[in-house]
Chain A
């Protein structure tokens, strides 16, 4: 059975139910009998939705092949930071656990091993500590900065 999903920019996607219900959000709608018409997804744009649906489809297709699936996931998540954040938000809104975890892990990997200054650069965060505060915090956790 096929479902119709509408992105925030009004593009319609026709998807197999089996693929769409990877999203717990959509699954609940189907179970509640609200999926007869087009399902609007005002929080996801078409570009992101297309990616998300690709993820879902491949997870159905490659369900039994763990190695192939991992290869796909690793390649899938190599995206720009902006796209990554869009995927994170969509995965959260649509409640797709494995996509959410993978995206979170990807962001965490971006932060691993970086100094606070590098993290600021990556995430575009302003350093709002005074020099004294910064020194005190550094001293508190000196071990983290010795490596």
Chain B
């Protein structure tokens, strides 16, 4: 008996499909598709790349159809007199689009994905304690830069922070939050929350995000957005360090809106006896899939059209987003620094410390597993940023 078998002859089609579905790495499936015409046709006919993507990102079940934009930025026309059927063309297109999508979803660089803040469910002392404060670079800490909710006598009242992401098509892997410690109050209370949950979605109508109103009270976010993903609940540490919340699986955010839901208040303010939540920093890590991929026509039901832009150089050695996406990032940063500068001018008493080695001081939190409230910390140090300042500099001198 021969040592090597062509399994396509040996096994039936159903089995072959089962087999190929065990290839989790998109590169492996791509290489298998290049082995022979029959294998390639098999992969195309059974939509194996689409299935692979759907398994990685169930959010893709809402794709109404896919399109390829050619080098002129327009939809590829169907070849007249083509020997292939329309159905086959459609399958082949799906194959090309989903193969590339699988690749970019796992290889584009990780980066900060928040473009700007949209709204908070409530804000105390607007505009001093606005949600915009949460987007100041984490490396620069100000005792006075934080978002605060309004006070509540009932600790069960939740709060939400809603942000716009850098593109309508991002893969999100983790979210970082640092609760605020009020140094200027007796006992330096930390206004963290009991637990946190994340939602992703899109605006109900494309015009709703026209003007970014950061006003004191605003229409409920529920009226403005449709949520297509809700994460499990994560416990929050009662510490003012940067806490990392890693989603159980990377999630495709379609529509570019992310909401942080802060559940359960913990800390009262001595002055009025009310419960508050205050956050000093937020950032969201993931991969921005635009402009390589674009989503359009997001319907209320969540269905959308997925477009692959052929002009984008998918084949470059560097798997990083192109210049256009980088510019967005620089622009955001500039805006935030300008904001900070103005902010500082308005306040007289500010201390700013340069903060290095952020990674070591991050506390990683795992989601709740059947009611347990454990979390792991990255390093055992309890990070107090102000303490770092005085300690470190003395050593260096």
Where the two chains meet, the residues of A that have a C-beta atom closer than 8 Å to any C-beta of B are: 80-82, 85, 88-89, 92, 100-101, 104-105, 107-108, 111-116, 119-129, 133-134, 137-147
Contact = CB atoms under 8 A, between A and B. Distances in A.
A125 B36 contact: yes
Contacts of A144: 26-27, 30-31, 34, 103
A93 to B, nearest CB: 10
B18 interface: yes
Contacts of B30: 141, 143-144
Contact of A120 (B5, B26, B33, B36): B36
A143 B314 contact: yes
Nearest to A103: B19
Interface string B1-23: 11111111011001100111111
Contacts of B103: 141, 143-144
B96 interface: yes
Contacts of A145: 31
B15 A119 contact: no
A64 B18 CA distance: 28
A113 B11 contact: no
A128 B34 contact: no
12 contacts: A81-B3, A82-B3, A104-B18, A108-B28, A120-B35, A121-B4, A123-B7, A125-B35, A141-B34, A142-B314, A143-B319, A147-B27
Contacts of B107: 143
Interface string B117-130: 00000000000000
Contacts of B21: 104
Nearest to B20: A108
Given A123-B4, A125-B39, A111 B23 contact: yes
B27 A143 contact: yes
Nearest to B30: A144
Nearest to A102: B22
Nearest to A142: B315
Contacts of B35: 116, 119-120, 123, 125, 127
Given A124-B2, A146-B317, A100 B18 contact: yes
A141 B98 CA distance: 11
B21 to A, nearest CB: 8
A142 B5 CA distance: 28
B40 interface: yes
Given A108-B22, A113-B28, A147-B27, A92 B34 contact: no
B99 A141 contact: yes
A115 B7 contact: no
Contacts of A120: 35-36
Contacts of A108: 19-20, 22-23, 28
Contacts of B356: none
Given A116-B35, A144-B26, A144-B30, A85 B19 contact: no
Interface in B25-60: 25-28, 30-40
Contact of A115 (B1, B6, B18, B31): B31
A142 B99 CA distance: 11
Interface in B97-112: 99-100, 103, 107
B36 A107 contact: no
A137 B6 contact: no
A147 B317 CA distance: 10
Contacts of B96: 140
Closest 3 CB pairs of A and B: A144-B30, A108-B22, A124-B4
Contacts of A89: 10-11, 15
B4 A128 contact: no
A127 B4 CA distance: 15
Nearest to A129: B37
Contact of B19 (A107, A116, A139, A143): A107
Contacts of A112: 23, 25, 28
Contact of A81 (B5, B23, B38, B317): B5
Nearest to A115: B31
Contacts of B4: 81, 121-124
A127 B36 contact: yes
